[in-house]
Structure 1
């Protein structure tokens, strides 16, 4: 029996959790940069003291929330086709929906990031500080903003520094562009065969990274797991048993955590997490008891509604608060630990700003450019 729309609302909770986890990770990384495993294996092993160990295993893997976003994105984009049993999508309609879902808030976030970069310099100028030669275009990274606006950061990797989360949008846009071709492949071959090909592609790119940054085959199998989940939720194939899903969740989760300490396994870290999230997603969807209630938490579901905006704007806010606290520390000679603890206000500030951002730059386009059916079936995915 296919799940009802109401039973799929837990996806908003997962989105809210993933976004908040990423926010917490980026703040945590300010305190423990040496413990971050996002860009390299932790050759020194697990944290040695209790405090750093607790934060490491709660916030240190927050970057994997992006992998959860990828799986959820594949699920939500493919869900309408799975419901209709039609492996074809009207190209102009699909492109229009994706453009209005993704682009207005994205462009607004670029402007927001540029302003956030300029604020510290503007304040220094306002109080009469001599900051030497001031090149506005360079200070606000105008060239990087233009490159980001057309999603070409993979060819100019330094431009990704404008806002640390934009690399995921580069992947998402490619996923959307290739999706009609993916449906064509599914019409010509089986779901399993296409999955095997994409799985091998991701293995290859994990072992032999391309010089071009953010090239979609490197992460497309993770997105495709969401497509498989959509087919499983609608058609409920026999292979999607609880045992298989438990194994997926366990192997992926444990393997992903272990991979950050094991150099030979580290290249497959994101793939392992994706498998774990795939298993967790279907386990929750098939649950009607405690597991569903846990992942249907109204507060987290509410956060999931504007999780895209939260994802887009939180890094500039964290940066601004951190810089402000460093300035306070330098000028006032305040207690360093107390000043850094003040950085935690960046989390509620990010949530409040993101909520306003959603009403200004997301919701108007959802209301005018998408039907009610589109909004329910897409479940506000965009990051």
Structure 2
């Protein structure tokens, strides 16, 4: 996952009576998406581990192909799209409408505060538990601490397997702080707003098309198998998800309050996106077209779903589902859940707690949820939340924030 749920930032949303209300609604919607994605990620990895444990290699641990498609639906692209959309939005508004942006150092400082404390701690704890004697697999440790394990065919899934996507997330931050200001400067001399939108959209389209070309050449030109992780999991293949999210940010900034969807168009569009994601998962089989281009295609469908959720005139029952308290609570702790669910699952399996065989899969899934969610909640309040308070040490211009004592109450 990343991708995991990174940070909380502004996004599009339905107009309401105050400025604060739309921001709260957007944040709840995004937390709902994160909660759904976190649940799906845990289910997917339990399915994946059962697939590996049973070792027969050709079928998911359910005989029903519909349920198999649901469990094998990957949501990593949702996290990529969400992250890119939220983080690019301020740059898109600055390039198109001349608004201001935060300094790169402030952006990177807050991103580091958001992800590093928990990540570094988890890597050290899990690595130490699996390498009781020194020097252990020191290369694996170094690669994980430097976010370079995504470029290692052997160690990409070591220690914290899902965090290969976090390497791409960190790389995206660096790309964004380089390309964002460049786009703002490139658009500044353009007098027509349509020209500025076109420049931003063209850049996003190029960043989306490049990974498509890479995948096509690797698969059809050189016959590289899908198990070559560095080729198909690296940024050159997976950046399309970020590019799609950047494109959504440009679209949202370009439209502003115009073109918001009514319920009669928003709900069918959201349903169409969900149906497309399900069909993509159902039809994917090793080496076929849907499998080969699954991630860039899924990213576009996630864009459609998010757009039909945030760029609306009024809220619908879909928003009610997304903003359910239990789901937004999961969204709040989703990064911790992303970090800890695999170590928790593997420890449960090692202890013999998880039932074996296909018939035991539903119970195993329930047990992992019951163990991983409380662990993630504790991790959020003990590690994530206190670390996030450090982000307040600097103001929006990247300068140290001055704190003054509260005046005495008379």
Pair 1:182-2:179 in alignment: yes
Give the match for residue 164 of structure 1: 161
User: Are 1:360 and 2:382 an aligned pair?
Assistant: yes
Q: 1:177 to 1:50 in 2, by over 3 A?
A: closer
Q: Which moved more, 1:358-367 or 1:308-317?
A: 358-367
Tell me how far apart the structure 2 counterparts of residues 338 and 245 of structure 1 sit (CA, whole Å): 36
After superposing the two structures, state which structure 1 stretch, 276-285 or 258-267, moved more: 258-267
CA RMSD between the two structures: 3.6
For 1:366 and 1:79, locate their aligned partners in 2 and report how far apart those are by CA, in whole Å: 21
Name stretches of at least 5 consecutive residues in structure 2 with no aligned partner. 1-11, 15-21, 187-197, 219-223, 397-410
1:26–1:272 Cα change, 3 Å: same
Considering fraction of residues, name the structure with more helix: 1
Partner Cα separation in structure 2 for residue 339 and residue 269 of structure 1:
25
Counterpart CA distance in 1 for 2:279 and 2:65 is: 16
1:75 equivalent to 2:75? Answer: no
Task: Spell out, residue by residue over 1:308-333, the C-alpha distance to the aligned partner (whole angstroms, 9 max, x if none).
Answer: 1110111111111111118x99xxxx
Whole-angstrom CA distance in 2 between matches of 1:348 and 1:248: 30
Say if 1:256 and 1:273, in contact at 8 Å, map to a contact too: no
Contact 1:23–1:314 (8 Å) recurs in 2:
yes
Q: Residue 360 and residue 336 in structure 1: after superposition, are their counterparts in 2 closer, same or farther (change >3 A)? A: same
2:391 alignment partner in structure 1: 369
Counterpart-to-counterpart distance in 2, 1:197 and 1:154: 23
Displacement of 1:360 after TM fit?
A: 2.3
Return the alpha-carbon distance in structure 2 between the equivalents of residues 295 and 339 of structure 1.
Answer: 27
Matched, 1:152 2:152: no
Task: Report the CA distance between 1:227 and its aligned residue.
Answer: 2.5
Q: How far apart in 2 are the matches of 1:310 and 1:317?
A: 10
Instruction: Give the CA deviation at 1:292.
Output: 1.1
The count of aligned residue pairs is 342
Please report how far the alpha carbon of residue 371 of structure 1 lies from its aligned counterpart in structure 2 after TM superposition. 7.5
Return 5+ residue gaps in structure 1 as ranges.
Answer: 37-41, 123-134, 375-383
Q: Distance between the aligned counterparts of 1:269 and 1:149, measured in 2?
A: 29
2:123 & 2:309 partners in 1: Cα distance? 35
Are the structure 2 counterparts of residues 338 and 307 from structure 1 closer, same or farther at C-alpha, using a change threshold of 3 Å? closer
1: CA distance, partners of 2:162 / 2:68: 20
Q: Does residue 35 of structure 2 align to residue 26 of structure 1?
A: no
TM-score (norm 1): 0.76
Does residue 110 (structure 1) correspond to residue 120 (structure 2)? The answer is no
- SS of residue matched to 1:325: coil
| Separation of aligned partners in 2, 1:144 and 1:179 | 27
1:339-383 superposed Cα distances (whole Å, 9 cap, x missing partner): 994574222211111111112221112112148998xxxxxxxxx
Cα 1:350–1:204, aligned 2, differ >3 Å: closer, same or farther? same
**2:92–2:253: 8 Å Cα contact kept in structure 1?**
yes
Once the two structures are superposed, the pairs formed by residues 265-280 of structure 1 within 5 Å of their partners are: 265-280=290-305
Change (3 A) 1:178 1:204: same
Tell me if structure 2 keeps the 8 A contact 1:35–1:60: no
Q: Deviations over 1:209-237 (max 9, x none)?
A: 49855432422231122223334445436
Contact 1:21 1:59 in 2 (8 A): yes
Q: Which residue of 2 aligns with 1:6?
A: 24
Counterparts of 1:180 and 1:51 in 2: how far apart (Å)? 47
CA contact (8 A) 1:245 1:283 kept: yes
Aligned residue for 1:159, secondary structure, equals: coil
